[in-house]
Structure 1
């Protein structure tokens, strides 16, 4: 059934009831049996409603709009206060924030603030982790295994090499990202002040002269001493390192720092290596290395002494590098209960990690033991 039809005159008179007589639009529409929508259309066409009435309606509309804007701005302010740390994060971080704050804020407002689509958020709710993220979680477990095994000394390049050797296929950039997101950083060694120059020793010259890359084993060794703190007192550690492979070939530990400490370390190196020709043994100018007993031991075993210039650690940089790794893994921020506890830890570091496992850039990223095995294998194949 078609609706009622009104003449123009009827419409004009109806408008006058509002504009001139002061009736409300709703009252006039009810009395005339029409709709407010129609009456407003007539008013628009034939005249204006009562200025006072219209002004009141406009004011109410404006107040409602302002209140809505205030609620929206207040909500946006509160969202920004709580979510400022995730504004520049990846979408999945923002999704997690929205999920956790749904009871407090509207999803639409949070998506608008973080500039993400609601459809993406609802899709994430069904599957919070992508296949890539799941794979990152799996890789993280293996990365932590290698990181802990290195004593926290490996960064992403060496961890990446360990992963490749373990059968994983991933890029070094991915490893670096995963480590960064989980705050896995290679420990930085102690800072040390280096002094240029320095006087030559009266016992031996700097024969090595920083030639740290001999072409074969048992050409040049370097030796040095460090200490470890325990509740029983200091434990002193002397080492001998073959510059060819960076392998620790001799070591000794004692509560006393004397000539016997370095002699025992050198004796272990001689017994292990059985050098056929003369070997250059470089050290600092410490009293232990200048003692008559130590020099006599060198002479009787065809070992030639070489000494760094006084106060110049660059002349024995390779051993300094070893002790930097040693301190990061064994001594940094740690005091052992007993000297025996420290000895066990040091033995584990040298013989179970450093020699057979620790990767070096000098050896092409393999351990000292593996580097020597590869060298002798090449000799046998020639």
Structure 2
């Protein structure tokens, strides 16, 4: 008979195997099977490990092992709690939805989180999820999901600022034939809401002795029938961690486009002059254009008046303390703040300036459709005016 061969094991393997038993609390049988080690051999190593007689293993201390075990359990609990927090953060909206919406959420995140954890948090079963996954959706369900996807994408593209009517028109403009009832009902069912608006406060400061223009506009905004017939201008301010950022704007009454603007850390004559200069450079208006503002000291300055007269415009100013005479530009400030500024926390003026410029140039002037413009954007209205001319 041949002698039975004895397999040799490295000190590292012995130490690793014993740690799995003593520190990870795995069974000797399981570890022996996983590492292809005779059970009796592993028993011997474990006994030596407990006595500190095995290379790479310190003297066994039950208290230390218990603390290590507790630490591992706490780490697992913390990891689970963090995972549950992330799931709630991403799936909070579907908690009150029906099961299909919850299953759709699980399907989307199945590679990120265990199904069992998501099912427990959402109050559904894994079995139900698999049944839903393999069930062929009806044609109506497919249409519902497709419509919801379009509505959600449109809601995000319009900065969460459109109600059902404007969102419906936006989708029609994009070539999607959804009914207004469909848009309204899906928004309500899935809690798709506009950003909450705050009341916008109008401020005017006209306590000075500088000369003022007569009011040529007199709130006759509906009488303005073409672009570059009347502009309105004003200053607002935005809070940042660095302090106030002042924004001067010039708006075309007919197209509702913000044709000029300037931003600065100081509320000086320069910002109203530069805003008007931008508008004139962009639009090159004919003489006789009405340039309206309130009676703020910046608008009554010599430099501003000289700019108006140089380009043969007609200066116009609101009645003292009457903000309604300048309503179109006040309306724009309310839009800017309700749809952008009130939902941000700016660390620097530069950050706010960049955000405001993007809102004006990319979204408001070119994308944001308005009911009073026939559900067109200000830029589209201006292009229409050029074609007619």
TM-score, normalization: structure 2?
0.62
Given that residues 194 and 314 in structure 1 are in contact (C-alpha distance below 8 angstroms), is that contact kept between their aligned partners in structure 2? no
Matches within 5 A, 1:213-252: 213=222, 214-252=224-262
Give the distance between the partners of 1:178 and 1:315, measured in 2 at CA. 40
Given that residues 189 and 325 in structure 1 are in contact (C-alpha distance below 8 angstroms), is that contact kept between their aligned partners in structure 2? no
Q: Deviation string for 1:263-293 (max 9, x for gaps)?
A: 0000001111111221111111211111222
The residue number in structure 2 matching 1:326 is 336
Matches within 5 A, 1:112-261: 130-192=138-200, 203-213=212-222, 214-261=224-271
Q: Deviation string for 1:179-224 (max 9, x for gaps)?
A: 12222222353325789xx99x961232201121311111100001
Aligned-residue offset at 1:126: 8.4
Give the distance between the partners of 2:124 and 2:374, measured in 1 at CA. 51
Aligned residues: 269
Q: Deviation string for 1:304-345 (max 9, x for gaps)?
A: 222222332221111111111101222113221211111111
Bigger radius of gyration among the two: 1
1:231/1:194 CA distance change after superposition, 3 Å: closer
Q: Secondary structure at the match of 1:286?
A: coil
Q: Secondary structure at the match of 2:357?
A: helix
Q: Secondary structure at the match of 1:226?
A: strand
Q: Secondary structure at the match of 1:349?
A: helix
Give the distance between the partners of 1:311 and 1:133, measured in 2 at CA. 57
Q: Secondary structure at the match of 1:191?
A: coil
TM-score, normalization: structure 1?
0.63
Given that residues 218 and 275 in structure 1 are in contact (C-alpha distance below 8 angstroms), is that contact kept between their aligned partners in structure 2? yes
The residue number in structure 1 matching 2:379 is 369
Q: Secondary structure at the match of 2:372?
A: coil
| Moved beyond 6 Å, runs of 4+ | 89-93, 123-126
Q: Which of 313, 316, 334 in structure 1 is aligned with 2:326?
A: 316
Give the distance between the partners of 1:159 and 1:192, measured in 2 at CA. 23
Unpaired segments ≥5 residues, structure 1: 1-88, 94-99, 103-122
Unpaired segments ≥5 residues, structure 2: 1-96, 102-122, 126-130
Given that residues 237 and 254 in structure 1 are in contact (C-alpha distance below 8 angstroms), is that contact kept between their aligned partners in structure 2? yes
Aligned-residue offset at 1:124: 9.3
Give the distance between the partners of 1:220 and 1:372, measured in 2 at CA. 14
Give the superposed CA RMSD.
3.4
